[in-house]
A and B are shown apart, each in its own frame.
Chain A
Amino acid sequence: MVAPSLKLQDLIEEIRGAKTQAQEREVIQKECAHIRASFRDGDPLHRHRQLAKLLYVHMLGYPAHFGQMECLKLIASPRFTDKRVGYLGAMLLLDERQDAHLLITNSIKNDLSQGIQPVQGLALCTLSTMGSAEMCQDLATEVEKLLLQPSPYVRKKAILTAVHIIRKVPELSNIFLPSCAQLLHERHHGVLLGTITLITELCERSPAALRHFRKVVPQLVKILRTLVTTGYSTEHSISGVSDPFLQVQILRLLRILGRNHEESSEAMNDLLAQVATNTDTSRNAGNAVLFETVLTIMDIHSAAGLRVLAVNILGRFLLNSDKNIRYVALMSLLRLVQSDHSAVQRHRPTVVDCLKETDASLSRRALELSLALVNSSNVRAMTRELQAFLESCPIDLRADCASGILLAAERFAPTKRWHMDTILHVLITAGTYVRDDAVANLTQLIAGAQELHAYSVRRLYSALAEDISQQPLVQVAAWCIGEYGDLLLEGNCEETEPLQVEEEEVLALLEKVLQSHMSLPATRGYALTALMKLSTRLRGNNKRIRQVVSIYGSCLDVELQQRAVEYNTLFRKYDHMRAAILEKMPLVERGGPQVGEEAKESKEAAKLSEAAPVPTEPQASKLLDLLDLLDGPSEDAQHPLPLDPSPGGALVQLLDLPCAPPAPAPIPTLKVFEREGVQLNLSFIRPPGTPALLLITVTVTNSSGGDVTHFICQAAVPKVCKDQGLEVAWALQEKRPLSRRGGWERMRWKGMRQALGELWEEGLEPLGVEESSEPSQLPTSCVQSFQLQLQAPSGDTVPAWGGLPITQLFRILNPNKAPLRLKLRLTYNHFGQPVQEIFEVNNVPVETWQ
């Protein structure tokens, strides 16, 4: 080496002296080169210094992996300074994923058994930070021996190392169980703290340990009581509270032990009350203890008085000026709101005030809590506050706020008009942040509220006229104008100011939407369809509309182009059918008109399927949702991919489009079930490209006088066992409708055993099953002849008198072209009675499986 190596201090000076990033990098690279050379030379005296520099450089973010082997050498050296830096290096540079880490296991073992306390401390520290599962297994016995050593310095470290070992290798927890009880008798706070952590970890991992440790609750109570009642002790008090860290840990352990357990909760009640009242709340330490107490009270089976005390404490926290305390109060109230709703309601005004905070953490918590507090009595006031918040809140909270308001409005809307107003307001203020299904919800809501058509179309028109940039708003408005354009032009509606709108203005607005570069392709699609519908609603001549439509016939966007071309054809060749096709969409109608020609139905279906805009998940059920608007099953255009341009067989012939692919021969629909007006139909499609695939659409219609609710359809296909030629079991499948609230539910496929168990219970005999005690294991030579996959149904309710039917899509893979057999099980409520039906479908048309 040319120059003597720098000391760590000097290196730091140099790095600080570097003015630019590049200079700093230069300095560091030069130094790293020296360090590398020194490592190669193997200079033992200065090794620790080199490594220390390397660690500093590593902290700044530069690569330092070449120092790993040096760590090992340093750990093995007898000098303490070397060991110190070596272990530090090991902690910082090595971890489970490096291969070198196992090499230090031996060194750690030697150090642990040597008996020199600081060295043992170091070794334990390193083991607990980066010990992998193999290392832990090797060294667990050593650690356990150290648990019982007389010196508290080592003991406290050994205990926490034990915690780490348990986290890595849960099977080893039995080793540490017996020592715990003994360690609780310690007076040394460090050891106590560690023991409590260890017990907490054990209890969280295994319920058996939990039961075992319930016995120590009285002892814990005693310890805590001594802590709280002793006066000022210099050793452990922090701002007047004696050892708040220990108190907090004990409280947390008590919480875990007392959860769902009456006895332990009883034992704790007095103590908790005492802690809650005695703690000095003027300083943060006291507040920390109080907060933990409140959390504990909430989680265990505490007396009613105690819970009231807890809520009051939280209320006091909320009024505190310190932001930190308000934050924790809001968080705990959020947890409480599920169980003690009324108690939290009392603090509603304060919570709403917190919405106005500038602090992002606080306002987010306040928003969540406010949304949880909305109920039917305060919905109007709360929504007003939330809407005011929506206008001023930071961007990342907007999406949550918007969806929260919409959800609350849906659950508690006092009138439809208020609901519509609220949604409209949200769309105007935060349109870009609402969830994708808000558009669908709003359109359905408007369509369902007959009396509001005029009002809604007017308001949407004025909103649209002001601003065409918010996409969801534009989509809804375009749809509405298309549907109810005639109401818009009538000019009189008592609920808004009289608005005189000319036809030309409406058309101009829609054209503006079409041409604007801010509009998404989906929005343009909506606008084009709306224009088309207006051609029947408006009284003027359609020249302008025809012009626009023909212009878009050569648009570059395929979707728009196709629509435009089809509409054009509609004008030219099929003008006589135009009015019928573009009628108002039926939603829920009494004894709905069965549209005569299936071709027209499928044309509307095709239109609607194209009108399904932004692909939300799952596309299939949304598509079927829209298709449900037609009564009765429609055969064609049932292909689940909504972007499929070719609408289906009969339609193709109707429109005479030359480029349509050859349509598959339509398979007759099958009616499989009828009972008291509830009917189940199956319609089949075999896509031409995949001969093994069969798509079945199940449609449930209800022409009776009572609603059908909670409808669930389960299906099973046979699995054939090849060498015995027997059918071993039916694989049962089910899928529930997706619910919008609280995330998507997905039912996982039921395992064989469950499926079989259920079948046996219902009396569906699995054919020819062997008497094996393990029905869950299929003989390995079993060949699946069918694979069934269900998609989520469109809903679980069919309203009476021909209301919106439920549809569900089944996909069956039948590579062996075996005759199709299907067992269906239906459960639903009809006329207030639960109904369960099981039947097999075996008269499927031959075309489905050949």
Chain B
Amino acid sequence: MIKFFLMVNKQGQTRLSKYYEHVDINKRTLLETEVIKSCLSRSNEQCSFIEYKDFKLIYRQYAALFIVVGVNDTENEMAIYEFIHNFVEVLDEYFSRVVSLMIMFNLDKVHIILDEMVLNGCIVETNRARILAPLLILDKMSES
């Protein structure tokens, strides 16, 4: 089960955070700083899976943004690794060539996309068209 999903930039600022298991707010900032520290300290040739307390962290770096997913023992790490890439591809299609600024300014849309893909820590949909369908309808509605 996915415990949390974070997008953090290189300076340690959180761009997106979604927790699927309750963590106290003051513990969250601590968690995020520790996680990003351990991810930043790794070089390119090192493995993308880190063990942190009782989670496993799977991270991927895209330019200046780190996407970190914390899972428990039962998940297949490589599937999650692939899932992160899937997520980025969906964002790419929606925003047409996404950059981290776009994510920041459209945080609510990114949340919607993430909610379409992951429900309660389980992956529910990975097909790009189907994920973006409700969002496109929503956009059309708000324009009109």
Contact between A121 and B134, CB atoms less than 8 A apart: yes
Question: Quick check: which of A283-291, A591-599, A613-621 contacts chain B, the rest being far away?
Answer: A283-291
Determine if A402 is an interface residue (Cβ-Cβ < 8 Å): no
Residues of B within 8 A of A524 (CB): none
> Which A residues lie at the B interface, using CB under 8 A?
8-9, 12, 16, 52, 56, 58-61, 63, 80-81, 84-85, 88, 95-97, 118, 121, 124-125, 128-130, 153, 156-157, 160-161, 163-164, 189-190, 193-194, 197, 235-236, 238, 243-245, 248, 252, 284-285, 287-288, 291-292, 295, 323-328, 358-362, 364
> How far, in whole Å, are A95 and B22 apart by their CA atoms in the complex?
7
Contact between A327 and B47, CB atoms less than 8 A apart: yes
> How far, in whole Å, are A194 and B122 apart by their CA atoms in the complex?
8
Pairs A–B under 8 Å by Cβ, sample size 14: A59-B107, A61-B29, A80-B141, A125-B119, A128-B120, A156-B125, A161-B120, A163-B120, A190-B124, A193-B124, A193-B125, A235-B127, A288-B81, A326-B47
> How far, in whole Å, are A125 and B111 apart by their CA atoms in the complex?
12
Dominant secondary structure at the A interface:
helix
Determine if B104 is an interface residue (Cβ-Cβ < 8 Å): yes
> How far, in whole Å, are A59 and B17 apart by their CA atoms in the complex?
7
> How far, in whole Å, are A476 and B141 apart by their CA atoms in the complex?
79
Determine if B61 is an interface residue (Cβ-Cβ < 8 Å): no
Contact between A244 and B14, CB atoms less than 8 A apart: no
Contact between A244 and B17, CB atoms less than 8 A apart: no
Contact between B105 and A190, CB atoms less than 8 A apart: no
> How far, in whole Å, are A132 and B85 apart by their CA atoms in the complex?
32
> How far, in whole Å, are A54 and B106 apart by their CA atoms in the complex?
15
Most buried by A among B46, B124, B126: B124
> How far, in whole Å, are A56 and B85 apart by their CA atoms in the complex?
25
Return the 4 tightest CB-CB contacts between A and B, nearest first: A288-B78, A323-B47, A128-B120, A160-B119
If A59-B14, A291-B78 touch, whether A238 touches B126 (CB-CB below 8 Å) is yes
Contact between A324 and B47, CB atoms less than 8 A apart: yes
Determine if B143 is an interface residue (Cβ-Cβ < 8 Å): no
Contact between B126 and A236, CB atoms less than 8 A apart: yes
Contact between A125 and B115, CB atoms less than 8 A apart: yes
CB distance from A322 to the nearest CB of B (A): 9
Task: Considering the complex, give the chain A residue whose CB is closest to the CB of B129.
Answer: A235
Determine if B37 is an interface residue (Cβ-Cβ < 8 Å): no
CB distance from B34 to the nearest CB of A (A): 14
How many inter-chain residue pairs (CB < 8 Å) link A and B? 142
Residues of A within 8 A of B22 (CB): 95-97, 130
Q: Chain B 11-37 against A: per-residue CB contact (8 Å), 1 yes, 0 no?
A: 001101100101001001100000000
Task: Considering the complex, give the chain B residue whose CB is closest to the CB of A235.
Answer: B127
> How far, in whole Å, are A125 and B115 apart by their CA atoms in the complex?
7
Determine which of B107, B122, B130 lies in contact with A160 in the assembled complex, contact meaning CB atoms within 8 Å: B122
Q: Chain B 74-111 against A: per-residue CB contact (8 Å), 1 yes, 0 no?
A: 10111101110110000000000000000011011001
Determine if B54 is an interface residue (Cβ-Cβ < 8 Å): no
Contact between B122 and A244, CB atoms less than 8 A apart: no
Determine if B50 is an interface residue (Cβ-Cβ < 8 Å): yes
Residues of A within 8 A of B17 (CB): 59
Contact between A361 and B49, CB atoms less than 8 A apart: yes
Residues of A within 8 A of B122 (CB): 160, 163, 194, 197
Contact between B125 and A190, CB atoms less than 8 A apart: yes
Task: Considering the complex, give the chain B residue whose CB is closest to the CB of A189.
Answer: B127
Residues of A within 8 A of B49 (CB): 324, 327-328, 361
Given contacts A84-B108, A284-B78, A284-B81, 7 further A-B contacts (CB under 8 A): A9-B105, A12-B104, A61-B14, A189-B126, A244-B82, A245-B123, A327-B77
Contact between B51 and A361, CB atoms less than 8 A apart: yes
> How far, in whole Å, are A129 and B74 apart by their CA atoms in the complex?
19
> Which B residues lie at the A interface, using CB under 8 A?
13-14, 16-17, 20, 22, 25, 28-29, 42, 45-51, 74, 76-79, 81-83, 85-86, 104-105, 107-108, 111-112, 115, 119-120, 122-127, 129-130, 134, 137-138, 141-142
Determine which of B20, B51, B108, B134 lies in contact with A118 in the assembled complex, contact meaning CB atoms within 8 Å: B134
If A88-B108, A292-B79, A359-B46 touch, whether A245 touches B126 (CB-CB below 8 Å) is yes
Residues of B within 8 A of A287 (CB): 78
Most buried by B among A8, A9, A84, A360: A360
Contact between B124 and A157, CB atoms less than 8 A apart: yes
Contact between A12 and B105, CB atoms less than 8 A apart: yes
Contact between B28 and A128, CB atoms less than 8 A apart: no
CB distance from A64 to the nearest CB of B (A): 8
Contact between B123 and A128, CB atoms less than 8 A apart: no
Contact between A288 and B29, CB atoms less than 8 A apart: no
Contact between B134 and A324, CB atoms less than 8 A apart: no
Residues of B within 8 A of A285 (CB): 82
> How far, in whole Å, are A183 and B13 apart by their CA atoms in the complex?
42
Residues of A within 8 A of B76 (CB): 248, 252, 288, 291-292, 295
If A9-B105, A61-B25 touch, whether A161 touches B119 (CB-CB below 8 Å) is yes
Contact between B25 and A81, CB atoms less than 8 A apart: no
> How far, in whole Å, are A99 and B83 apart by their CA atoms in the complex?
35
Determine which of A96, A130, A244, A328 lies in contact with B77 in the assembled complex, contact meaning CB atoms within 8 Å: A328
> How far, in whole Å, are A238 and B122 apart by their CA atoms in the complex?
18
Residues of A within 8 A of B78 (CB): 284, 287-288, 291, 324-325, 328
Most buried by A among B79, B104, B129, B138: B79
Residues of B within 8 A of A295 (CB): 76
> How far, in whole Å, are A843 and B54 apart by their CA atoms in the complex?
55
If A160-B119, A359-B47 touch, whether A324 touches B125 (CB-CB below 8 Å) is no
CB distance from A671 to the nearest CB of B (A): 53
Contact between B134 and A248, CB atoms less than 8 A apart: no
Task: Considering the complex, give the chain B residue whose CB is closest to the CB of A326.
Answer: B47
Contact between A244 and B79, CB atoms less than 8 A apart: yes
> How far, in whole Å, are A189 and B13 apart by their CA atoms in the complex?
36
> How far, in whole Å, are A362 and B22 apart by their CA atoms in the complex?
30
> How far, in whole Å, are A235 and B69 apart by their CA atoms in the complex?
25
CB distance from A564 to the nearest CB of B (A): 47
CB distance from A659 to the nearest CB of B (A): 51
Residues of B within 8 A of A361 (CB): 46-47, 49-51
CB distance from B37 to the nearest CB of A (A): 13
If A52-B108, A243-B126, A324-B47 touch, whether A118 touches B119 (CB-CB below 8 Å) is no
Residues of B within 8 A of A80 (CB): 138, 141
If A61-B25, A161-B119, A284-B82 touch, whether A129 touches B47 (CB-CB below 8 Å) is no
> How far, in whole Å, are A97 and B20 apart by their CA atoms in the complex?
15
CB distance from B44 to the nearest CB of A (A): 10
CB distance from A435 to the nearest CB of B (A): 22
Residues of A within 8 A of B14 (CB): 59-61
Contact between B47 and A248, CB atoms less than 8 A apart: no
Task: Considering the complex, give the chain B residue whose CB is closest to the CB of A248.
Answer: B79
> How far, in whole Å, are A128 and B21 apart by their CA atoms in the complex?
11
CB distance from A169 to the nearest CB of B (A): 14
Determine which of A88, A163, A326 lies in contact with B111 in the assembled complex, contact meaning CB atoms within 8 Å: A88
If A190-B127, A284-B78, A288-B78 touch, whether A129 touches B108 (CB-CB below 8 Å) is no
CB distance from B78 to the nearest CB of A (A): 4
Task: Considering the complex, give the chain A residue whose CB is closest to the CB of B29.
Answer: A61
Task: Considering the complex, give the chain B residue whose CB is closest to the CB of A88.
Answer: B111
Residues of B within 8 A of A97 (CB): 22
